[in-house]
Chain A
Amino acid sequence: MTETLAQWLNVIGILVCVLTIAAMLTWAERRLLALWQERYGPNRVGPFGLLQPLADVIKLMNKEDWIPPMADRPVFVIAPAMAMVTAMAAFVVVPITPRIGIVDRLDIGLLFFLAMTALTVYGVAVGGWASNSKYSLLGGVRSAAQMISYEVFMGLALMGVVILAGSFDLRQIVIAQQGLWYAVLQPVGMILFFVAGVAGIHRLPFDLPEAENELVAGFHTEYSSMKFGMFFVGEYVGMVLLASMVTVLYLGGWDGPLLPPILWFLLKMGSILVLLVLLRAALPRPRYDQLMAMGWKIMLPLSLLNLMATGGALLAIKGPLTS
Chain B
Amino acid sequence: MWSTLRSLWLVFRFGFRRRVTVQYPEEQPYLPPRYRGRIILSRDPDGEERCVSCYLCAAACPVDCIALQKTEDGSGRWYPESFRINFSRCIFCGMCEEACPTYAIQLIPDFEMCEYDRQELVYEKEDLLISGTGKYPGYSFWRVAGKAIAHKDKGEAENESPPVDVRSLLP
Chain A residues close to B by CB (< 8 Å): 34-40, 278-279, 281-283
The answer to whether B11 touches A281 (Cβ under 8 A) is yes
The answer to whether A282 touches B20 (Cβ under 8 A) is no
Which are the 10 A-B pairs with shortest beta-carbon distances? A282-B11, A282-B7, A35-B15, A39-B21, A36-B14, A282-B8, A40-B21, A36-B15, A36-B11, A38-B19
Q: How far is the CA of A236 from the CA of B62 in the complex (A)?
A: 52
- Give the contacting residue for B19; candidates A39, A281, A283; CB below 8 A: A39
Which residues in B have their C-beta under 8 angstroms from that of A39? 19-21
Verify if B12 is at the interface (C-beta below 8 Å from A).
Answer: yes
The answer to whether B8 touches A279 (Cβ under 8 A) is yes
Cβ-closest chain A residue relative to B9? A282
CB A87 to nearest CB in B, in angstroms, measures: 26
Chain B 21-60 interface mask (CB, 8 Å, partner A; 1/0): 1010000000000000000000000000000000000000
The answer to whether A38 touches B17 (Cβ under 8 A) is yes
Chain B residues close to A by CB (< 8 Å): 4, 7-8, 10-12, 14-15, 17-21, 23
Describe B's contact surface by its main secondary structure: helix
Q: How far is the CA of A36 from the CA of B8 in the complex (A)?
A: 10
Q: A35-B15, A36-B15 are in contact. Are A282 and B21 (CB under 8 A)?
A: no
Q: How far is the CA of A69 from the CA of B4 in the complex (A)?
A: 44
Which residues in A have their C-beta under 8 angstroms from that of B14? 35-38
Q: How far is the CA of A36 from the CA of B12 in the complex (A)?
A: 6
Q: How far is the CA of A35 from the CA of B20 in the complex (A)?
A: 11
Q: How far is the CA of A40 from the CA of B8 in the complex (A)?
A: 20
Q: How far is the CA of A89 from the CA of B18 in the complex (A)?
A: 42
CB B9 to nearest CB in A, in angstroms, measures: 9
The answer to whether B11 touches A278 (Cβ under 8 A) is yes
Which residues in A have their C-beta under 8 angstroms from that of B12? 36, 278, 282
Cβ-closest chain A residue relative to B13? A36
Name the residue among B17, B19, B23 with the largest chain A CB count within 10 angstroms.
B19
Enumerate 23 A-B pairs (CB-CB under 8 Å) in ascending A order: A35-B14, A35-B15, A35-B19, A36-B11, A36-B12, A36-B15, A38-B14, A38-B17, A38-B18, A38-B20, A39-B20, A39-B21, A40-B19, A40-B21, A40-B23, A278-B8, A278-B11, A281-B11, A282-B8, A282-B10, A283-B4, A283-B7, A283-B8
CB B1 to nearest CB in A, in angstroms, measures: 9
Cβ-closest chain B residue relative to A281? B11
Cβ-closest chain B residue relative to A205? B4
CB A2 to nearest CB in B, in angstroms, measures: 47
Q: How far is the CA of A281 from the CA of B10 in the complex (A)?
A: 11
CB B167 to nearest CB in A, in angstroms, measures: 78
CB A35 to nearest CB in B, in angstroms, measures: 5
Which residues in B have their C-beta under 8 angstroms from that of A281? 11
Cβ-closest chain B residue relative to A298? B1
Known pairs A36-B14, A36-B15. 10 more at Cβ < 8 A?
A: A37-B14, A38-B17, A38-B18, A40-B19, A40-B23, A279-B8, A282-B7, A282-B8, A282-B10, A283-B4
Cβ-closest chain B residue relative to A40? B21
Cβ-closest chain A residue relative to B17? A38
Q: How far is the CA of A278 from the CA of B15 in the complex (A)?
A: 10
Cβ-closest chain A residue relative to B7? A282
CB B23 to nearest CB in A, in angstroms, measures: 8
Which residues in A have their C-beta under 8 angstroms from that of B19? 34-35, 38-40
Q: How far is the CA of A281 from the CA of B15 in the complex (A)?
A: 11
CB B7 to nearest CB in A, in angstroms, measures: 5
Which residues in B have their C-beta under 8 angstroms from that of A40? 19, 21, 23
Which residues in A have their C-beta under 8 angstroms from that of B18? 38
Which residues in A have their C-beta under 8 angstroms from that of B23? 40
Q: How far is the CA of A40 from the CA of B15 in the complex (A)?
A: 11
Which residues in A have their C-beta under 8 angstroms from that of B17? 38
Q: How far is the CA of A34 from the CA of B19 in the complex (A)?
A: 9
Q: How far is the CA of A278 from the CA of B5 in the complex (A)?
A: 11
CB B6 to nearest CB in A, in angstroms, measures: 10
Cβ-closest chain B residue relative to A43? B23
Q: How far is the CA of A35 from the CA of B10 in the complex (A)?
A: 13
Which residues in B have their C-beta under 8 angstroms from that of A35? 14-15, 19
Q: How far is the CA of A37 from the CA of B19 in the complex (A)?
A: 8
